Amino acid sequence: MLAQTISMNTSHSDVVIGIPTYRRPELLSILLRSLAAELSGTGVKVIVADNECGTDAPAVVEAAQALFPHIECIAVRERGVSQVRNAIVAAADRVSPGWQHLIMLDDDGRVTSGWLAALLSAAGRWGADLVGGPVEGELPPGANLLARNSLFAKRKRWPTGVVQTLNTTQNLLIARSTVEKLGLPLFRNDYGASGGEDYDLFRRVARAGGVLVWCDEAVVIEPAPAERLTRKALLSRYATTGSYMALIDASYDGKWRVVFGAVKGLFTSVLRAAWGGLRLDGPDFALYVLMAAHYAGRLAGLAGARTSRYVKAETA
């Protein structure tokens, strides 16, 4: 348990929640309903950033005003995850000029009981610049072996406290001090199409001497759609993630250090996958097949391959 307890009956008008969304009104509605108990009586403001610029997201937000009044939908015409997140940061300054904590959620998750109090408590206890929490995946029945051992089923977790890095912008608290350390924009638009804007943010905050904290009590649940769990989709996901992570790491650590790490990682992963297969250890085999795809993607990225995971999804 965290040492500090925050009562949800007090006002937190300096807290803003930002939610990028794109053509997922049903999932967005589920997320907003899960937030209702967490935000009751708090004064927390919610910004939904619609990258479709359509009518579905505004309708969901209008319906959610019956649950909590401090919510609005903004249209973001420029495509890309970084662009949408930066638009949320700008909107937070407008709706709450003195905001102290901006919490990012994705539109395909739902929060659990005590989530908000846990995040805020961790931020205060450690004077954090960033606080991340678990994203627990939910798989559909009959998910394949790779899916059951992928990030969609289980992401890395740590004991609550200071850490070296975090996982994702799904379930991420950003303190005002982060803006003071880095300036704006917080998310580099170079990664708007590929993804990686969150990983780059973690590296930039760490390099600036910021404090990254993991809060294992602040849980978000995220169901994984079947189309993301095919073998082809999973291998592609791990490879494209490796591609952008290698480029980001190279910008901080130097290209040849990252090349060496990728070659070593690929060689080790292939051997461990083969060993897992020989021992009929399905989970080990699956994990290291995915890691081999990741390191192969790192080498491809360093060789010049580029990905556009999110722009393709948005223009399909």
pLDDT digits (tens, 9 = 90+) for 170-226: 999 999 999 999 999 999 998 888 889 999 999 999 999 999 999 999 999 999 999
| 75 & 136 share domain | yes
For range 297-310, the mean pLDDT: 86
Task: Point out the domain boundary residue: 174, 202, 225.
Answer: 225
Task: Point out the domain boundary residue: 210, 225, 240.
Answer: 225
Share the mean pLDDT of the chain: 92
| 172 & 240 share domain | no
Is-contact 97 89, C-beta < 8 A?
no
| 219 & 84 share domain | yes
| 204 & 279 share domain | no
Cβ-based neighbours of 112, under 8 Å, separated by 6 or more: 34, 219, 220, 221
Which residue has 């580099």 as its token pair? 188
CA angle 289, 293, 299 (to 5 degrees): 140
| 45 & 175 share domain | yes
Q: Using omega within 30 degrees of 0 as the cis cutoff, is the peptide bond preceding 185 cis?
A: yes
Q: Say how far apart CA 221 and CA 271 lie, in whole Å.
A: 33
Is-contact 111 130, C-beta < 8 A?
no
Q: What is the CATH number of the domain that holds 68?
A: 3.90.550.10
312, pLDDT greater than 60: no
301: in domain: yes
Residue 311's pLDDT band (cuts 50, 70, 90): low
Is-contact 46 70, C-beta < 8 A?
yes
| 135 & 261 share domain | no
User: In total, how many domains does the chain have?
Assistant: 2
302, pLDDT greater than 80: yes
pLDDT value of residue 308: 74
Size of the chain, expressed as the number of residues it contains: 316
pLDDT per position as a tens digit, 119-138? 999 999 999 999 999 999 99
| 102 & 78 share domain | yes
| 158 & 265 share domain | no
| 54 & 192 share domain | yes
Is-contact 221 113, C-beta < 8 A?
no
Share of the chain above pLDDT 70, in %: 94
Q: How far is CA 258 from CA 57, 133, 303, in A?
A: 41, 27, 12
Buried b (16+ CB within 10 A) or exposed e, 232-253: ebbbbbbbbbbbbbbbbbbeee
Q: For residue 310, what are the domain limits?
A: 231-315
| 283 & 253 share domain | yes
2, pLDDT greater than 60: no
228, pLDDT greater than 80: yes
6: in domain: no
| 104 & 214 share domain | yes
Which residue has 């589920």 as its token pair? 30
